[in-house]
Each structure stands twice: as structure tokens, then as C-alpha cells.
Chain A
Amino acid sequence: MTLAPLQLTRYAFAQRVMFTVAPMDLLTDAFYVTRRPALQARLAQLAAGEGPALVAEVDCRFRGIRCTGVAWDAFSSEALAGLVQV
């Protein structure tokens, strides 16, 4: 599985989000309210068992890039993969 439709959004947006670790609305109700379709689609993907592939891809492409909540140091690639084993 790939993230193709959204591509490297982080870099596509590079000028604005170069040092950004999260969208401003992450901790507000707006995060879910305005992204409901995308979030529901992702939950459906996870329910369909696409989690491990997704983790592998994000780990491969973005490991080390800061993001609120993500503790790359605490979870090696293997540990992260282990968390989503089915």
C-alpha cells in the first residue's frame, strides 16, 4: 500500500511546514470535525488490516522527522512493527 494520493504532503508544503510538528487544530475539536472523511477512511483501512503496511511505509519515509506525539527514539522500527502485528 502507498500513500500515493497524498504524496509527500509534508514536503509539498515545505515552505510553510518545514519546522512544523503538528497542525494547529490537532488538540481542538476542529481536527476531527474538518477531517472526518479522511479519518474515517483511514480507520476503515486499519480495520481492513492495512496497519502494518502503513507503519512500514511511514517508518521508512519519515523516521526521525519530528511530529507531535511520535517518539521515534522510544520505538525502533522493529518495535513499531511489533505494535501493529496482527
Chain B
Amino acid sequence: MFANRAALDAYEAALRTEAGLVSVLEAVGGGASTSGLSSAGRTQWRLAPASRSGTPRPGAPAPLIDDAVVPAAARRVEPEVALSLCNAVVEAWHAAASSAWTTTTPVPPPDAVTGASSYFLRRYTAPWVLTRAAATAAAIYERYHRYPDAIQLYRELLGQDRWMVGSRYVPFAHDCFTHTDAHRASSACTLVVLNRGAWWDRLALDVDHHLKDRAGAVEVCVAGLSDPHVRTGHRWALEKRLRRLAKQGHSTALAPVPPPRPAPPERTIKAHLVSDAVVGVHAEFLSRTGMPCRVELVALEAYQHDPALGGPAWVGLHAENATVATLFGVLFWDVLFDAHPDVFQTPYQGTAIRDCVE
């Protein structure tokens, strides 16, 4: 996984730096939206960082921020302290990550600087973690209304295609060496936007709403929409902003909104309810075979047997997301199991299911 011991040490230090910055962000106003732990639970987590974090190996690089700088239980951080920490992290990110941008190639080559042999392993290097930390810094800038700083940082994050090009990346426990780090990282996910789509989105918001630069916002939205790594929800958000700007009279060269699809016809199917009506428990109905069953089977049976609904011509299956997932697995089987570097670490692995969300 790691090229050498130094790479691992640098990675650990970067994780601690990131965790420190996240606690700054929590202190400056992210508290309300942190993860579901009660405040009592959070205090416990925060009071024990030193014992849980373990002691860094002697000679290992020190994190930029640690709990000595940001008291774990601190509710307030002075703005100057927070902003100077942000500046320090951004500088560290520049130093670690900007030495050689890759050009857009079909497949990213091994990383010359960190020694990561594949794009997948780049996430276990210090620059990747510092990229996440830089995104956290951007959020802190925004909280202090330092929009020009935030905008510049978002532009830098978006101007590179070497770190975090694709995903919202949710750090998982095996990324973090301690529960404290893991908890902080997971709270960071709720506070910080961690993918290019969201960066474009925040950038557009800052330029449009805070700088009142409408023409600039149009440019940002158009650039974001042409970024191949921006997908689904963020694409929709950028389009929405662009349409609003167009409505205000700014030229956007956007295709007209397609008309909404006609609503599907509604049909009412009657069945005999055999379970008690309890909230939170699936209702059960009597199926045609006399067995209790769920509502989906009732609908399927109706379509299979009721001539008024199309009669026996229907073939139905209740599988929800399994349909798409199965089709993907089958249609891309050989791509999934192709001999690809670094992604098959052990013969027993499942997917790193919580390792990320795409």
C-alpha cells in the first residue's frame, strides 16, 4: 500500500492535520450539522484524543495542527488562529501537491512524487489528504466571509486533475488510524464538500451570491457543466443556477428546459389487508394463493391475472435496485475482474463498502 515508511508517516501526519482542521471547522460553526452523536458523546470523543491517537513514531513528521493548538473541547476558535491555520494548510497542500500536475490522459500514470503505483492508491498519500484538508479550509474561509480566498482555493482545487478528480470521498475507519480521527473525518463529511461537483457548486454560489458577479457566475456554471467529473445532483444544481441567471437576463447559451414527462396513469388495485395497521411495519395482504404477502406482490399478481390491467401478458419482477446492480455486474463482469493493479489486495476481500460513495 505504501511506498515506504516515510510515505506512511507523511500520510499519518496529513491525517492528523486534516483532523485538526476539521475540529477548527466544528468550532467555528459546524456544530449543528455534525454527525448524529449526542453532545455528550462528542465531548467524550474529543477529550480522549491523545490516548486514542497513539503516539507518532519518533522522527515522524509532525502534523501542522494538533490538539495542543486546537483544544479538543474548544467551543471557540479565534478567527485569526483559524485563518492562519487555513493558510498554513493551503501552503502545505501547494507544496505537497502542486509540484507536477498531470495532463489529462486516458488513464492516470503512477504518481512520480508519492510513488503511488495507481490512481487508486493515491488516496493513501499525504497530498490526497491535504487536498481534502484544503477543501475544509475553503469551507472555513466561507464561514468567515473570506470569499475571495475561498474562491481562489476552489479554483485551485478545480484546476488540478491529480487528486480527488472524481468522487465524494468519505473517509472510512481503515483510512484513519484512530476512532477519533474516524469520527472527525466522518463529521467533516457533513460539513465539507468533497468532490469536484460540489466545489463547482460552492464556487458558483460564492461568485454569484457573495461577489454579485453574475457574468462570472455564468462562466463558472458553464465550465462546471463541461467538467466530465461533475455528475447527477451537482450537474442539476449548476444548471438550475444557470437557468436562474438566464431568467435575470444574462446570456447563458443553455438549451431550453425539456418539457416534463407526462405523469404515468394511476391505477387502483384492491386487496384484503390481513395485518394490523402498525406504523413502521410492512402491511400484509392476502395474495391470490391465500398466503400473506406485501403490496408489491399484490400489484404483480393483479397485473398478471386481471384482464382489465392487461391480463396474463405481463411478466413482472420485484427487485428494486437489484435490477440495475445486477445488470451492471453482468454487463461489466470482465471489466470488474480484470487484472488491475492494486485493487485485489487479498483473496478474501469484499468491496471496501464504506470506503467511499459514488
Question: Which residue of chain A has its CB nearest to the CB of B195?
Answer: A29
B-facing residues in A17-49 (Cβ within 8 Å): 17-39, 42, 46
B73-81, B142-150, B321-329 - interface stretch: B321-329
A-facing residues in B297-356 (Cβ within 8 Å): 315, 317, 319, 322-323, 325-340, 342-353, 355-356
Q: Closest Cβ of chain B: how far from A22's Cβ, in Å? A: 4
A18→B329 CA distance, assembly (Å): 17
A6→B328 CA distance, assembly (Å): 18
Q: Closest Cβ of chain B: how far from A14's Cβ, in Å? A: 9
Query: B119: CB under 8 A from chain A?
Result: yes
Q: Closest Cβ of chain B: how far from A19's Cβ, in Å? A: 5
A34→B118 CA distance, assembly (Å): 8
Query: B107: CB under 8 A from chain A?
Result: yes
Query: B108: CB under 8 A from chain A?
Result: yes
Point out the residues of chain A lying under 8 angstroms from B340, CB to CB: 23, 25, 34-35
B31-39, B163-171, B217-225 - interface stretch: B163-171
Interface of A is mostly: helix
Point out the residues of chain B lying under 8 angstroms from A31, CB to CB: 358
A19→B131 CA distance, assembly (Å): 34
Point out the residues of chain B lying under 8 angstroms from A68, CB to CB: 325, 329, 350-351
Point out the residues of chain A lying under 8 angstroms from B344, CB to CB: 13, 16-17, 20, 23-24
Point out the residues of chain B lying under 8 angstroms from A80, CB to CB: 326, 330
Instruction: Produce 1/0 per residue, B96-108, CB < 8 A to A.
Output: 0000000000111
Interface of B is mostly: loop
Q: Closest Cβ of chain A: how far from B101's Cβ, in Å? A: 15
Q: Closest Cβ of chain A: how far from B67's Cβ, in Å? A: 30
Q: Which of A23, A35, A36, A80 has the most CB of B within 10 A?
A: A23
Q: Which of B119, B229, B326 has the most CB of A within 10 A?
A: B326
Point out the residues of chain A lying under 8 angstroms from B327, CB to CB: 83-84
Does B351 lie within 8 Å of A26, measured CB to CB?
A: yes
Point out the residues of chain B lying under 8 angstroms from A22, CB to CB: 336, 350-351
Query: B236: CB under 8 A from chain A?
Result: no
Does A27 lie within 8 Å of B317, measured CB to CB?
A: no
The listed residue (B331, B342, B345, B358) touching A42 by CB distance below 8 A is B331
Point out the residues of chain B lying under 8 angstroms from A24, CB to CB: 120, 342-345, 349, 351-352, 355
Question: Which residue of chain B has its CB nearest to the CB of A67?
Answer: B329
Q: Closest Cβ of chain B: how far from A70's Cβ, in Å? A: 4
Question: Which residue of chain A has its CB nearest to the CB of B229?
Answer: A29
The listed residue (B164, B336, B349, B351) touching A29 by CB distance below 8 A is B164
Does A28 lie within 8 Å of B329, measured CB to CB?
A: no
Instruction: Produce 1/0 per residue, B163-200, CB < 8 A to A.
Output: 01111010000000000000000000000000100000
| B interface residues, Cβ below 8 angstroms from A | 106-108, 118-120, 123, 164-167, 169, 195, 229, 315, 317, 319, 322-323, 325-340, 342-353, 355-358
